[in-house]
Amino acid sequence: MRPKLVIVYLLIVIAPLAAVGWLGAALARNEQTMVAVRFREVLTGKLNDTASNVAGLIEQRERELMTVSNLSALSPADLRERARASGIVRQYFVLDQEGDLVYPSPSGELMASEVEFLRRTESIWSNGEIPGPNAESQQASRAVQSETRTKGWHVGFWGSGVSLVFWWRDERGAVVGAELNEARLISDIVGILPETTTPEYTGRMSRSRQDDCTTLVDPKDAVVYKWGAYSPNAKETPRADVALFPPLQAWSLKYYSPAAPYGQGMIFSVILGFTAFGVALVVLALYFYRENTRAIRDALQRVSFVNQVSHELKTPLTNIRMYAEMLDGDLGEADTDTRRRLGVIVSESQRLSRLINNVLTFGRNQRKLLTLHRTPGIIDEALRSIISTFDAPLNARGVTVDLVTGAGQEANFDRDALEQIMGNLLSNAEKYAPNSGRLEITSHQNGDTVTITVSDQGPGIAGNLRERIFEPFYRVSNKLTDGVAGAGIGLTIARHLARLHGGNLTLEPSPRGARFKVTLRATMRRSGGTP
């Protein structure tokens, strides 16, 4: 198969595969991005649900603390006993009207736990971060607030721990509060989180804990609790990260998984579809390759057969023509009818010879075997001889040849090739320009270049077909040519032969009819007998 055809078949396979592959990859990326966004939204929603559960626990602690009646009326001993009895409170405190500590009083007798409490919460009292009733009312008045705060949270850090302080206004109007037991709070939070052996459901995606995990992280980025078997490395970025609600906003929930648990089905579908499409293209290309190869093989066989038949016909046809010409020469002047009949035989045998020569020349050209055999001669003499064989058929069609010679110097050229070129041009004039009057043929020799023009007075050829008429098997279709027999290879062969001579055959613009121009490279004979 020709290399160009192989390249075409490769492009038929590779170009669609590349286009489909690019589109499939883009579609997979877009789909994976959309699924990733949806998956992240589902995960964030799930983590927010967990954060809401933690917020619900904090609200429950608020309600439990605020149910204590008249906490400001209790004695220090009662407050200490109540703190020891409560599992959720580490230390109670009471403020006076100005926001100063009444209990535990920095100036009074303190237990060790109370001293530690004052150290942990020193910034609260020194900065007045929890105002007393009077100070809060004055601040509210200055800010023109519609209502006074009745409770609030304060979060501080002490060492490696967290001090979580809640304050509120009791029935007596005093500001009281409590520092929560951090260990108990963490234990209660962990108690409402999923167990490590429970499957985690994220929307419609149900996944076991074998390949993911969720962590509860404190303000210092230390993992407080983890559920799920996966263990992320220290530098791994979570796939979803949600902060808890106040007052635990410094805490967060983080979800990890080793690989994106989404989009795999889409990628697999794209790969499967791409593979199927590729296989279909390859099969289709192989089918066309086989059919084209078979068509080329059949065409070559037909061309070979036609060439063989044409070659076999050439010898008996030459004999018929030769003996008809001999018989014509032996007849007397009185045998007019017989000479006319012999003239028809000779003329038709010559035409058949030209057709066979065209077929044989075309076949050799297709096989790259067409060569020239240059011999010395005079082109004008060759033209006269060629035209003489067309006198009878051209005259019968109402066409008279007018030869204007100008190539009378001896030169090297292939006489058979010139005969075939001119034979095809004259044959076309006979077939396509009948009853057109004069057929003008001129020759001109300029150094090694010979120019021959053949101009008829027929219907002519449209300008847009100036090159197409030289294509193999192409024939102009109109009312003058549809009934004319021909294979459509005459002009093709004539151009090839002209180009083998170093020249060309072209259709020149003409006001009327068709004007063909033949140029040949015919090396002139120099003095001394050498070309």
In this prediction, residues 423-446 reach a mean pLDDT of 87
Is the distance from CB of 197 to CB of 191 less than 8 angstroms? no
In this prediction, residues 201-221 reach a mean pLDDT of 67
The pLDDT score that the predictor gives to residue 427 is 86
From-to residues of CATH 3.30.565.10 in the chain: 371-524
Read off the DSSP letter of residue 497: H
pLDDT above 60: residue 428 = yes
Q: Is 271 exposed, middle or buried (0-12, 13-18, 19+ CB in 10 A)?
A: middle
In this prediction, residues 63-87 reach a mean pLDDT of 88
Higher-scoring residue by pLDDT: 210, 476 = 476
The model's confidence at residue 508, banded by pLDDT at 50, 70 and 90, is very high
Is the distance from CB of 53 to CB of 190 less than 8 angstroms? no
In this prediction, residues 300-319 reach a mean pLDDT of 60
pLDDT above 70: residue 401 = yes
Portion of the chain with pLDDT greater than 70, in percent: 75
Average confidence score pLDDT of the chain: 79
3-state DSSP of 263-299 = CHHHHHHHHHHHHHHHHHHHHHHHHHHHHHHHHHHHH
The model's confidence at residue 525, banded by pLDDT at 50, 70 and 90, is low
Is the distance from CB of 404 to CB of 444 less than 8 angstroms? no
Distance CA 203, CA 207 (A): 10
pLDDT in tens, 354-392: 667 666 666 666 666 678 888 999 999 999 988 988 888
Q: At the topology level of CATH, where does 371-524 sit? A: Heat Shock Protein 90 (3.30.565)
pTM as predicted: 0.48
Pairing state between β 523-524 and 89-95 = unpaired
Got the DSSP string for 112-151? HHHHHHHHHTHHHHHTT-S--HHHHHHHHHHTT-SS---E
Pairing state between β 523-524 and 410-413 = antiparallel
Range scoring the smallest mean pLDDT among 73-82, 238-247, 470-479 = 470-479
Q: Other C-beta atoms within 10 Å of 100: how many? A: 13
- Strand, coil or helix: 368: coil
pLDDT above 80: residue 188 = yes
